[in-house]
Amino acid sequence: MVGVSTWSKCKRGKIGVRSPAVTAATTMGAYTYLSELWKKKQSDVMRFLLRVRCWEYRQLPAVVRVTRPTRPDKARRLGYKAKQGYVIYRVRIRRGGRKRPVSKGIVYGKPTNQGVTQLKFQRSKRSVAEERAGRKLGGLRVLSSYWINEDSTYKYFEVILIDPAHTTIRNDPRINWICNPVHKHRELRGLTSAGKKYRGLRGRGHLHHKARPSRRATWKRNQTLSLRRYR
Confidence of residue 229 (pLDDT cuts 50, 70, 90): confident
What's residue 22's pLDDT? Answer: 53
What's residue 2's pLDDT? Answer: 47
Mean pLDDT, all residues of the chain: 90
What's residue 192's pLDDT? Answer: 96
What's residue 94's pLDDT? Answer: 96
With a cut of 60, say whether residue 15 has pLDDT above it.
no
With a cut of 50, say whether residue 1 has pLDDT above it.
no
- Amino acid sitting at position 178: I
Confidence of residue 195 (pLDDT cuts 50, 70, 90): very high
**125-152: average pLDDT:** 97
With a cut of 80, say whether residue 9 has pLDDT above it.
no
**211-229: average pLDDT:** 92
What percentage of the chain's residues is helix, strand, coil (to nearest 5)? 45, 15, 40
pLDDT digits (tens, 9 = 90+) for 152-171: 999 999 999 999 999 999 99
Confidence of residue 16 (pLDDT cuts 50, 70, 90): low
Strand ranges across the sheet with 154-162: 63-66, 86-94, 154-162, 141-150
The dihedral of CA 107, 113, 118, 124: what is its sign?
negative
What's residue 228's pLDDT? Answer: 85
With a cut of 50, say whether residue 131 has pLDDT above it.
yes
End-to-end CA distance of the chain: 86
Q: CA-CA distance, 120 to 96, in Å (whole number)? A: 8
CATH architecture of 29-183: 3-Layer(aba) Sandwich (3.40)
Q: How many CB atoms lie within 10 A of CB 40?
A: 11
**pTM, whole model, 2 decimals?**
0.83
What's residue 19's pLDDT? Answer: 54
18-32, 113-127, 134-148, 208-222: range with lowest mean pLDDT: 18-32
Nearest residue to 181 (alpha-carbon basis) of 197, 199, 165: 165
**191-218: average pLDDT:** 93
Q: Could you tell me the residue ranges of all domains in the chain?
A: 29-183
